[in-house]
Amino acid sequence: MRPIRLPEAPSGFSGLPEIFDSGGVYGAIKRAIIIGNGFAGSENQSVGLVRALGLSRHHSLYRVTRPRGGINEWLHWVPLSLHKKFDYFMKVMPLFSQTTGLSDVLEADANHIAKIARETFDKDGPLLVVASGRDTISVSSSIKRLAPENVFVVQIQHPRSHLNRFDMVITPRHDYYPLTPRAQEQIPWFLRRWITPREPPGKNVVLTVGALHQVDSAALRSAASAWHDELAPLPKPLLVVNVGGPTSNCPYGADLAKQLATMLRNILWSCGSIRISFSRRTPEKVSNILVREFSGNQKVYIWDGEDRNPHMGHLAWADAFVITADSVSMLSEACSTGKPVYVIGAERCTWKFADFQKTLQERGVARPFTGKEDISESWSYSPLNDTTEAANRVNMALAQRGWSIHR
């Protein structure tokens, strides 16, 4: 099995003596493996952490993939192993012969990766394993069980139970919302034993405000250069509007799109330019309203999803952001730039996602979008720095084992 080689990101001088460039230095971590689940939001967090640790040139991606197509789209909450057995059954039944899975995608095999870690340990040192997402839990925990002396396993996003299966768990603070008095009041007493997590974070848990990502100063400088010719000449201030998609805990539809359109019309006078982007989760009924409202406005550009994705360029060149409340990832990235971030739809969020919105506002990194703002008036805050802070905690934990990252 050959891993998928990820694109290389720029890295600077490591500052280490040349002796460390040769193999066989015990305790020096020189490579990483990412266990992905095929979803950009999860894999982006793992890549961001590896990048912050200085291993962007020395990591590979393996994937845990669920069957897709047909009835499989309704089975995302079934345990992965059971889902695959059910998919196999459907394939051998003539009635379901048109249903296809992702059998052509290379699978993350815990035994194979653990074997690599054991057999290359003396020559290449320990192996860093970073995983994110529910479907990766069984693989990453198995790697730790099979090669405990040869790997350091980081699980991003809360695995819900048995956190001692990992060397480190990195998860947002709002994942522990169920333990708060307010949450306990919301949960019927007969359901409380089934709601996770059930214990406060242990020593191997690192809490963040939002999601990890790849947006650091180097990435923003690179994006600013790459998008200079297109974005630099635009009239200022440049307002970037990022629209995600409704979720069970942040529901919305055409009503929010109409509200957003009205608010944008109200603040249009204070903007030099507006650029609107939709995600793959954005319903057509939402995007169509905004396209219909602004497609003829010379101040407004709407990304059609066909040309190259301007997301990083927007982060680099925007003067302010308006973002729908559903996307923890988009909010985390924007709030790491230090630029004004306005949120629309936060009042619709429930459960732990309402707690996340509350935290952003209490820290002063985001404000509710009211449609009465003057976008030319900026404001400042201490940017979120979750990815770097998480990387520092990884380095501290490695040092306790006598290990370190070789950059």
Q: Which 3 state secondary structure label does DSSP give 251?
A: coil
CA nearest to 288, candidates 322, 262, 254: 254
CA distance 337 to 374: 19
Mean pLDDT by 10 residues, the chain (407 residues): 45 41 66 94 96 96 77 51 43 38 62 96 96 96 98 97 97 96 90 88 97 97 98 98 97 97 98 97 97 96 94 98 98 98 98 97 98 96 98 98 93
Q: How far apart are CA 278 and CA 218, in angstroms?
A: 25
d(CA 383, CA 82): 42
Residues 373 and 267: beta-carbon distance below 8 Å: yes
Instruction: Return the pLDDT at 169.
Output: 98
Torsion of CA 226, 231, 233, 236, to 10 degrees: -140
- Provide the residue type at 300 as one letter: V
> DSSP secondary-structure letter at 375?
T
Reported pTM: 0.86
| Per-residue exposure over 45-57, b if at least 16 CB sit within 10 Å of its own CB, e if not | bbbbbbbbbbbbe
Quickly list DSSP for 254-316: HHHHHHHHHHHHHHGGG-SEEEEEE-TT--HHHHHHHHHHHTT-TTEEE--SSS---HHHHHH
C-alpha 331/C-alpha 167 separation (Å) is 28
Question: How many Å apart are CA 251 and CA 180, to the nearest integer?
Answer: 23
Report helix angle 386-400 to 40-52, nearest 10.
60
Strand partners, 185: none
